[in-house]
Structure 1
């Protein structure tokens, strides 16, 4: 940069101006004469007077200046490097205050000369006593290993937060008598892992453990561990380091599964905001950081990106990370440098993140940005084609019909459930509209609504097959809200399909899904789905042994019974001209702005492979039932 400044005095040299100069040289429109008499500059072996900074350091300076134009790092009083965006007063003030100074790394903002920020408070947080050595409760080591193992198998396989070897070493160190004092953030992480691993046992969110289950010997319950973790939260906020990010993310997962939706969302927001403060979204690293830490931080960032989408989507809240307004430059982690672990396949994260981005675009275009109760056909068809393109381009070893190692089966199944749930998210408004407005739809439009409805039902059927295989493989989990949310989503689709067509296969799917829910560990959200769903089904004419067993509180289950007469009464007299405000919000009409929409040879039809047995025509659904 010094050389360029010499030859271009008085000009602002940034990435854009340098590109302009380079283009002019390439095009032959750059008129400056080449520099003459340079022989002596390149022949000397003497070090230059400024060789305190190596050539490599100089190159790194230039790269940092060019590639980080939107923010810098500031070292706080605790020694942590915090990211500060270019729109802040801080980097501008630093730029003015350092005029004429040569600094080792121009992307690092110099700290204040007087005082320390944040200040050292007399008491770090309400959860600690000044000067007192903290004593943390730890369960027996055998129980710890069981809890950590459950966490790694069921949660960490898709929400990666630790290099597994590093995690296990830290656990060993924590249990060592000579271990150094553990940070509050690390202990909050550990307690949250214990809470997740010890779930299903005692308390309002679970049943008592079987006598032979090791957790029965623990003095603490899952809820006790949540309480211990919560007590450390104020200090976790104060520390705001990588462990703090992990702790908040894990608390978000745990609280969502305990049906504390708002708490989960707030913890998730805190985790992302801490990541922002460390510059994880801009691939920033402290001066002392190494290549392994950079890869670890990258993987943590993209885990947060996906978890933010999951928590926000399930709770119906805006995501904390919005790439329309927040520039994210962090690349995908290198799996050659940092192995994702035993339970996560290679390429899983990159593949999942690309799908996550597609889902965000669908939510924005279909649910957030539409101004009316209709949406253009081209918007929907383009989204469907992008989804199908993603599915076709999936790495071969992640395809559902390709055998995978037992330890990878959950992660692969979850990836495919993500895909089919995104397809359902895109198409279910049209299925609902079709069911309600079937009698008034023009035949030309009805073709496409039925096509969308079939896509939705097809996605639900494929998801059911995956869930059944997961149950067979022992990879269905109640430790997060994901699996039971999938089950509930599919039940709703099949209720619509059955009530619309009266096809027995759809009622069979409902039975299977209710049985899957009953067969899972009755923890948190799974327990709620198992108890609540039969009550809701009964209101729709789907009654029987399920509700009785639920009321008796035992684990026995009987077949789901569908009351045909009641369903016919509920759905056969549907008024197509009336929708409740909620039904209006959740259903969509189509505007045909694409001249090729009615082309039977369209690209959308060509890439939409549906099960021919899917029934969507209700013409004979109620022929045997009198309407009153």
Structure 2
């Protein structure tokens, strides 16, 4: 009685509902149901079944300050374990728990998200956003439309998925392997990070000392390396202005004096990159020494803001990209983008004090940076550092910057249009959330980004001038052939990117072995993806036949990987529908691409990134051969071909295959191939047998 007397309302007069019904909870109104009654007042009046299935909210006791402190401590603990975790809202934390396999409670504020998740469970099963630990134990975000995730899903469809090492985000790029000359550095394997590089501490960091060391010890090699860079690498990655760089190089060779750490850093990167394609043999130790010099210069370079800074960062990033340090490459590329924004390279209306050459060089540098960054974005499926920034930079004047003899007329104009389409494709896939599961409407609706990109690609191919078409490649000068081939390679690569979701969806439907109608639009676009991948693969073979396949410093192997993965998807779809009889051209082309990379793997100068990608192509070809030879009854999907069908319902906007500008390239007879390496590669075929280490690209 004493307790009742202390209350404002006595218990015997208190009308509090012990638990609310589901309808009143959804109305966010008090449930007026007295003790002993089966229905509340609202449900009685409206003749609604009064049911209670949702659990009662649990009250959390404590002051606001105590709860805030508790939340801060818990977030700090999570950040300590996962530094890159996104804890900005409940939905992001639920996604993080799902990715890590940790069961988490779902509050009512996330009810809508949960309902959507239940509707699209099949989509989440097929494509999930993942965080992967790299070889340093750091968490890396790799998007659902990335080449890494594409390969992972492909291996699952083939029934050969296992746990892989995330090999292409390597160990710390500042660490050096232990050598007899570096006894102070301990060799550490696995996923452990190594700190405290004593060797780097012994390298002088001032520009003058490094310049003197380079001239004194390595002078006889430098001229041939600089020549090799501009002969082979420069046209793929036009970062430097050849005439200006050679003039500065001659002055430096004669005097040894330079006060610009960015220029010296660029020179060192030129030497490192060309050491893999030059006629002289450069030891691994010399390459490591030059990279230690670059590391010593980079702190000074990154605190400057000019064109030389961007050039040094981009050349350093390309080396890191090629040597299994693509995470560090990503970081340096982003820094270069910020510097480019800072000096206004992204806008034509920013007036520079320099003359015409400096302005045109800035345009060339911007579009090279744009292309390089977008290629990484398309591979990782990460948001771009450039994003939706307004880009008003026009294409450079080829005569002023000295490219008239390297590229056909107006090459940069048409290449720039493709770069913008690549950026639009990356944004479309990234904005689709799960990317590949964007559905039929992504291609059927005329105003969708995907449909617009397909139309723009078609128009680009139709309007291409005759002197830039593949039909005239044989009549071009050797220096112009590779740029024209790469122009079309980029075209087919973008086509594969934007149409790949339809083919993956088609393969998923077939692999489930259940009756499901595939819209005609998705089927048509998936066939376009296959044709584009075949054209891409044939272009890679054609480059090899011209001795212009670059497996050392550029994206040729990556393009081969993308073509191979789509060809494997085509083989899967064909086998699911028709069995192993009458296999398409994809299987023979896949074998030829595996043979191409096998020949390239014999060269010991191939860097780590290209070597990993090459082994993926060889491995996929082997698995595809086994997949075709296994009876479909053993794969548990014998009903797929009988149950799968294409919807014939019309759509307001479709893309017939023959209107998409995809013209198949005629296969080249193996007799046309010169299996020897180009003259500059002669004598470098002594390589250990290929080892398939089960590593995935991304």
- Normalised by the length of structure 1, the TM-score is 0.63
> Residues 398 and 223 from structure 1, CA distance in 2 versus in 1: closer, same or farther, beyond 3 angstroms?
farther
Q: Deviations over 1:69-122 (max 9, x none)?
A: xxxxxxxxxxxxxxxxxxxxxxxxxxxxxxxxxxxxxxxxxxxxxxxxxxxxxx
CA contact (8 A) 2:222 2:271 kept: yes
> Could you tell me how far apart the structure 2 residues matched to 1:533 and 1:334 are?
39
Name the residue aligned to 1:195.
272
Q: Which runs of 5+ in 1 are unaligned?
A: 1-125, 202-212, 543-561, 577-588, 615-628
Matched, 1:384 2:461: no
> Could you tell me how far apart the structure 1 residues matched to 2:550 and 2:627 are?
31
> Residues 607 and 317 from structure 1, CA distance in 2 versus in 1: closer, same or farther, beyond 3 angstroms?
closer
Name the residue aligned to 2:327.
262
**Segment drifting more, 371-380 vs 328-337:** 371-380
Greater RCO, 1 or 2 (C-alpha within 8 Å, sep 6+) = 2
Task: Return the offset for 1:405.
Answer: 1.0
> Residues 593 and 320 from structure 1, CA distance in 2 versus in 1: closer, same or farther, beyond 3 angstroms?
farther
Q: What is the SS of the residue equivalent to 2:346? A: helix
Name the residue aligned to 2:421.
358
**Segment drifting more, 141-150 vs 410-419:** 141-150
> Could you tell me how far apart the structure 2 residues matched to 1:440 and 1:194 are?
57
Task: Return the offset for 1:434.
Answer: 1.1
> Could you tell me how far apart the structure 2 residues matched to 1:233 and 1:476 are?
31
Task: Return the offset for 1:532.
Answer: 4.1
Name the residue aligned to 1:320.
385
- Equivalent of residue 174 in structure 1, options 252, 255, 258: 252
Q: What is the SS of the residue equivalent to 2:281? A: helix
Matched, 1:423 2:495: yes
- Equivalent of residue 510 in structure 1, options 586, 590, 594: 590
> Could you tell me how far apart the structure 2 residues matched to 1:332 and 1:590 are?
44
Q: Deviations over 1:32-71 (max 9, x none)?
A: xxxxxxxxxxxxxxxxxxxxxxxxxxxxxxxxxxxxxxxx
> Could you tell me how far apart the structure 2 residues matched to 1:147 and 1:591 are?
60
CA contact (8 A) 2:506 2:523 kept: yes
> Could you tell me how far apart the structure 1 residues matched to 2:307 and 2:666 are?
51
Q: Deviations over 1:549-580 (max 9, x none)?
A: xxxxxxxxxxxxx464337467562897xxxx
In the TM superposition, what are the counterparts of 1:186-225 in structure 2 within 5 Å?
A: 186-199=263-276, 214-216=280-282, 220-225=285-290
Task: Return the offset for 1:200.
Answer: 7.6
- Equivalent of residue 522 in structure 2, options 439, 442, 449: 449
Name the residue aligned to 1:158.
236
Task: Return the offset for 1:317.
Answer: 2.2
> Could you tell me how far apart the structure 2 residues matched to 1:161 and 1:569 are?
55
Matched, 1:566 2:566: no
CA contact (8 A) 1:163 1:340 kept: no
Q: Deviations over 1:351-385 (max 9, x none)?
A: 11211111222222244245864251123443222
**Segment drifting more, 337-346 vs 467-476:** 337-346
CA contact (8 A) 1:427 1:456 kept: yes
Task: Return the offset for 1:189.
Answer: 0.5
Task: Return the offset for 1:424.
Answer: 0.6
- Normalised by the length of structure 2, the TM-score is 0.57
> Could you tell me how far apart the structure 2 residues matched to 1:415 and 1:427 are?
19
> Residues 504 and 281 from structure 1, CA distance in 2 versus in 1: closer, same or farther, beyond 3 angstroms?
closer
**Segment drifting more, 186-195 vs 519-528:** 519-528
> Could you tell me how far apart the structure 2 residues matched to 1:430 and 1:523 are?
33
Name the residue aligned to 1:128.
205
Matched, 1:526 2:526: no
Q: Which runs of 5+ in 2 are unaligned?
A: 1-202, 575-579, 641-645, 668-698
- Equivalent of residue 432 in structure 1, options 485, 499, 504: 504
Matched, 1:280 2:345: yes
CA contact (8 A) 1:127 1:234 kept: no
CA contact (8 A) 1:374 1:591 kept: no
Name the residue aligned to 2:336.
271
Task: Return the offset for 1:164.
Answer: 1.5
- Equivalent of residue 340 in structure 1, options 391, 397, 403: 403
CA contact (8 A) 2:591 2:621 kept: no
CA contact (8 A) 2:258 2:264 kept: no
> Could you tell me how far apart the structure 1 residues matched to 2:541 and 2:276 are?
23
> Could you tell me how far apart the structure 2 residues matched to 1:147 and 1:567 are?
54
CA contact (8 A) 1:374 1:590 kept: no
- Equivalent of residue 461 in structure 1, options 518, 531, 534: 534
> Residues 572 and 172 from structure 1, CA distance in 2 versus in 1: closer, same or farther, beyond 3 angstroms?
farther
Q: Deviations over 1:278-331 (max 9, x none)?
A: 121234778651122111112111211111111222233222112x3x233322
> Residues 391 and 611 from structure 1, CA distance in 2 versus in 1: closer, same or farther, beyond 3 angstroms?
closer
CA contact (8 A) 2:206 2:297 kept: no
Matched, 1:231 2:296: yes
Q: Deviations over 1:129-188 (max 9, x none)?
A: 599796341465553233223332443213212222222222222211x25324111111
CA contact (8 A) 1:434 1:450 kept: yes
RMSD: 3.5
Q: What is the SS of the residue equivalent to 1:221? A: helix
CA contact (8 A) 1:199 1:222 kept: no
Name the residue aligned to 2:170.
none
Q: Deviations over 1:381-412 (max 9, x none)?
A: 43222111111112322212213210112211
Name the residue aligned to 2:262.
185
> Residues 287 and 373 from structure 1, CA distance in 2 versus in 1: closer, same or farther, beyond 3 angstroms?
closer
Name the residue aligned to 1:111.
none
> Residues 285 and 367 from structure 1, CA distance in 2 versus in 1: closer, same or farther, beyond 3 angstroms?
closer
In the TM superposition, what are the counterparts of 1:579-598 in structure 2 within 5 Å?
A: 594-597=651-654
CA contact (8 A) 2:226 2:274 kept: yes
Q: What is the SS of the residue equivalent to 1:281? A: coil
Name the residue aligned to 2:227.
149
Matched, 1:490 2:556: no
Task: Return the offset for 1:504.
Answer: 5.3
Q: How many residues align?
A: 438
